[in-house]
A and B are shown apart, each in its own frame.
Chain A
């Protein structure tokens, strides 16, 4: 599996630098917009949602503020009594009792009502559900002092067992506007509490109402909070009581609720004139449920988009690079002599035109190669006649057909003979290569006994080895399977390899020839203890005209075509050839021919 992943990465990401560049560019160009879109979408949705939440919370708070103001205005309106006479005298006692009874009857919020004289003495008082009450001197109380000054009094809220109660007081005035008495009422705020408790934001959002001291009026209970809790030390209540509007848009408007420990979005504002505080808290989980779903969807889509980019980028890059890869493979084929290589690019663009131009170029190159081969073939062929003629005449001269030669002449004639021999060999090699490249080299394989052929070749080359006192150690095997080979070409291969082993060996060295049978091939190994080859030379050993010219091999003469021809011949016979060499220790050439 790991290997597959590695191969996938190599083939799709690391296969080529250009492909990698394309992949990178694709990823950057595709992923960045996906991210920008995703993040922008989330940001805008979030921003819009926050404004919506703020709007809803502030709207509910305003509604609550409106209700409170209306309740107080209505209630104060009831106790702002104006009598129909002009005298500065108090209302008759019986009238006072009657009026108070009526007030209690009319307004269920009144728990207690009383008339107070301008001296501060209660003159009449009725408590809802109560009997006889003791009238008091209330001249020291703020409600009396404020109302006596002609102002309405809104007192402190007391938390009683029947609900929060608010003391209100207002002056009673006659037709001339003179204050003649004070009317005081204890007002139950149950109605406001109930209204506050019924207000909801979403599924679980709620309102909290405090008085001007930060003491909680409503709801009666919420989490660990209850009516009467002093919240004045809470920074949010403090800010609201100072007149600041908290609109749920500030980062600090998302906080862990004191009441139920859950994250909430809070807003709040002060009720004008009476300075109570109204707060809204909407649990984040509820308020953000929809937007969080949308956010998760956008995030998932972005993730899938990015993953898709990652998966598709290599394929797109690969597809884009395919024409280039085809051109590269075509060029390599041409380099290897496959002149009729054609690339098929159907991109309908400049790359397709490039492919067509490449194909035209290969046609031209092929023609050029054919012309060259023809020229070489003709030139070599034409050279062969004079070389053969020279060889014939030189042979006759050396044999004395043209008269006895003195030693000096023999001495001078020897290099001419050697040079002609080399020229002849060169011409033969060039002709063979030209035939091969022109496809005219004919190899006719048939099942043969390799031992006989190699033994004959060894007999042929033994004198050359003897000259350098090199021992040829041959271990023929009688049970070798027959191989598919061309006798003549195999002889040429063996002579090439053994003559190289002799040429690139020290005097008195050795050459071993032995076989190994593989499942499909009979391998022939020609091992010597000669000069060996450097690592760098080994890379070029089968190239045309390559000759190792370092150290001991400098003086060895050759055309540099032998191993090239050997390689060609082995492959044409369906075989394989390889070598191992260590500089200064020797070389082993191994060629295998298919078992018949």
Chain B
């Protein structure tokens, strides 16, 4: 009989334990969802763009020094700040952008025509390539005449991007550099869209393509790479398809 009593005691203790820890206690499932990993270069998951260091310059060909803008630093910094905010929103805070502005205009070794060449169509990419080469050689290379240790070096794992305010014409971007004409940031005609164009060109450095046809320039997307390039940067965005290809 004693063993029955002990058995009943165990059953009751078990029932109590079940009541306390089982009945009516919510079971919580683990959701396996996670956001996509860090953003990367457009279509290239192996190339992280989670940290970007912008080196910003005001580039003046040697024959245009008389046209040098006095407000270049302010407008450049303003546009960079807008870019940082825009990027933070679009890439959901997963891409950190820091910038440094070279404190004085870079006076080019050549004249304007040498950078622009005879063809300045499609944003004057020739000038960008030439200026980028010269900046790398003169500013970013330790042997360059304008090399400045504090400015020129880029800490790992930041990805270096050159943003050039050009005392000339055009707006274009490549994988590691972009340039916009100083006109876009200072001329009242572009007061609404100047920073948007600056930002648009920056995204070429992350690999984003244009959202319009070439050479007709008919927008094919509504975002900053297309029609949205004509809106204030505060009111434009990067479309979902591009973001996905950036790993967002």
Contact = CB atoms under 8 A, between A and B. Distances in A.
Interface residues of A, number: 71
Contacts of A45: 24
Nearest to B25: A295
Contacts of B227: 136, 138, 141
B50 to A, nearest CB: 16
A137 interface: yes
Given A42-B19, A256-B29, A306-B16, A136 B236 contact: no
Given A112-B231, A140-B220, A159 B237 contact: yes
A258 B226 CA distance: 34
B121 interface: no
B213 interface: yes
A131 B231 CA distance: 11
B27 to A, nearest CB: 6
Contact of B239 (A13, A158, A257): A158
Contacts of A159: 89-90, 237
B24 A46 contact: yes
Tell me what chain B mostly uses at the interface: helix, strand, loop, or mixed: loop
A143 interface: yes
Contact of A233 (B33, B218, B223, B243): B33
B35 interface: yes
B23 A42 contact: yes
A500 to B, nearest CB: 44
Contacts of A162: 234-235
A255 B29 contact: yes
A136 B5 contact: no
A39 B20 CA distance: 10
Contacts of B217: 137
Taking residues whose C-beta sits less than 8 angstroms from the other chain, chain B's interface range is 35 or more
A140 B219 contact: yes
Contact of A230 (B12, B28, B230, B244): B244
A375 interface: no
B216 interface: yes
Contacts of B16: 302-303, 306
A274 interface: no
Contact of A158 (B31, B228, B232): B228
A112 B234 CA distance: 12
A160 B29 contact: no
A422 to B, nearest CB: 52
Interface of A: 13-14, 17, 20-21, 23-24, 27-28, 31, 35, 38-39, 42-43, 45-46, 111-112, 127, 129-134, 136-141, 143, 155-156, 158-162, 165, 167, 186, 213, 215, 226, 228-231, 233-236, 251-252, 254-258, 263, 265, 284, 288, 291, 295, 299, 302-303, 306
22 contacts: A27-B8, A112-B231, A130-B192, A138-B219, A156-B240, A158-B222, A158-B237, A160-B89, A161-B85, A162-B234, A186-B235, A226-B93, A228-B89, A228-B248, A236-B31, A252-B29, A255-B29, A256-B28, A258-B31, A258-B34, A288-B26, A291-B24
Give the 6 A-B CB pairs with smallest separation, nearest first: A158-B237, A234-B33, A263-B28, A161-B234, A46-B24, A42-B24
